[in-house]
Amino acid sequence: MLENTPIPILKLKDFLLVSIQIDLHDRMAQQLQQDILERISQTQAKGVLIDISALEMVDSFMGRTLADTARMASTLDAEIVIVGMQPAVAITLVELGLPLGGVRTAINLDEGYELLQESLKEKASEKQGIEEESEEEEADDSGSD
């Protein structure tokens, strides 16, 4: 049984907001990952903002946990944006050999929120495009009969 994390996951319209304010040990980081995925599934959230501006270091375990969480969330149709990474943390992560490839990042909460809004709009218009196309195909089919 994993310990509970003292980190609240707040819902804000279509998104979730998580702010990591304390240095997490490994099991707590894993528990947080699980909590986030469960909340996505419960709330059908389309995006998650994870604020790490208070984190003074991200080592290979935390970095991998964040990257994994982002990949897992995307299979639940939710996008994760990591927000507010300190410059010293970014430098160290790359030197460590762990650039967070594939993970979307933003400089602050405002930018992260914009990113999520934009990608939600893009997804909606893509979906609409596909629906229109299939309607056209149906129309073609009925015409050729």
In residues, how long is the chain?
145
What is the token pair recorded at 18?
Answer: 């998580």
Nearer to other proteins, 95 or 141 (CB): 95
What is the token pair recorded at 133?
Answer: 């196309």
Residue 124 engages other proteins in binding (rule: CB under 8 A) = no
Residue 88 engages other proteins in binding (rule: CB under 8 A) = yes
Residue among 4, 8, 12, 23 that touches other proteins (CB under 8 A): 23
Radius of gyration, alpha carbons of the chain:
19
Residue 31 engages other proteins in binding (rule: CB under 8 A) = no
Q: Measured in whole angstroms, how far is the alpha carbon of residue 87 from the centre of its chain?
A: 20
| Candidate segments 56-64, 75-83, 100-108, 127-135, binder of other proteins by CB under 8 A | 56-64
Residue pair 32/5 in contact (Cβ under 8 Å)? The answer is yes
**Secondary structure element (H or E) that encloses residue 44, with its range:** none
Q: How far is the CB of 106 from other proteins (least distance, A)?
A: 20
- The contact set with other proteins (CB under 8 A) reads 23-27, 56-61, 64, 86-89, 91-92, 95-98
